[in-house]
Structure 1
């Protein structure tokens, strides 16, 4: 399996101005440092939760439909990033390397949590012809286009991470500290449990 970011978020879930207000920084000397901290914090939150915070486009390549993400009936598969907004295409790789599109009339997209593809009876999830990278799914995920679309606890976690990194980078704590304990509590409701 591989997951490739096709279109990064057009904004950050926390603006530079919001982060500076949180940090009580009024000068512009550290704007680049704070911006880097925001990006790093967002990436940390997204990695911990499996969520896309601001709308972004992805391509997932699979060898086969992942068993741990299949429904009990085998007719539905959840996608790798949430919250799912849309599925642009599902393709299968043929033996000659070309990609064939799975007819959208044969499946529906559920954008609930977790977002998933569901084969419409009498159809089923197509079997890959080629086992290595035989399935490609292009989809969009995220809470929305702006920071206001992102749940407040996730934005708060980012602000706490930015503050920890900013303090360390300014020499107030040596090397970058681990994520503050409050970040764990803020992210807990959004973290996917893996069995």
Structure 2
């Protein structure tokens, strides 16, 4: 998986001009991405995900959603069926995204129970430039905190990263990968 910040950009930001700590800094990049993803509930690097939902118009946890590649459901008899895209459309102009019924279409009867509908999707930003600036800044600030190896500096970096991610970030959670 490619990280949203390259090793070269991280080293430049940290003013590191040697390669002895490349593995360490690479790990810090991954840690910063994971922290931001957990805090914001966003997937930063495009990846395939599977979500199980209980109803066709249920909110999807993943954000941002690049595409939905398939929808299957358990029918009333418990048999898995594919739901073709002539029945649904993805509404992802704002968070939370959801599948919506297309005009003139009808949802099939679904077996009652948790996870009766499976949505295969691709979530995440396609390029670093698409990641909101505040989220990128949060990653760089976290890198500084991690690299400092100082508990107080890290605590300050985390507080700054939270502010950089913005108030709309809290309260969302990532779907299981």
Whether these two folds match at TM > 0.5 is: yes
Match of 2:102 among 104, 109, 120: 120
Matched, 1:103 2:94: no
CA-to-aligned-CA distance 1:152-189 (integer Å, 9 cap, x gap) = 22111101111111212xxxx25994343211111115
Report what 1:17 is aligned to: 8
Q: Match of 2:175? A: none
| Alignment partners' CA distance in 1, 2:107 and 2:136 | 37
In 1: Cα distance, 2:70 partner to 2:170 partner: 25
Summarize the alignment of residues 50-65 of structure 1 with structure 2, pairs less than 5 Å apart: 50-62=41-53, 64-65=54-55
| Structure 1 ranges of 4+ moved more than 4 A | 94-98, 124-127
Gaps of 5+ in 2: 173-177
Whether 2:34 is the aligned partner of 1:34: answer no
Matched, 1:77 2:62: no
Q: CA deviation at 1:95?
A: 7.2
1:13 CA displacement: 1.1
Instruction: Specify the SS of the correspondent of 2:165.
Output: helix
Cα distance change, pair 160–85 in 1 and its aligned pair in 2 (3 A): same
Distance 2:71 2:45 in 1: 22
**What residue ranges of structure 1 are gaps of 5+ in the alignment?**
1-9, 66-74
What TM-score results when the alignment is normalised by the length of structure 2?
0.83
Corresponding pairs, count: 170
Look up the SS of the partner of 1:153 in the other structure.
helix
Question: With structure 1 as the length reference, what TM-score do the two structures score?
Answer: 0.76
Counterpart for residue 93 of structure 1:
74
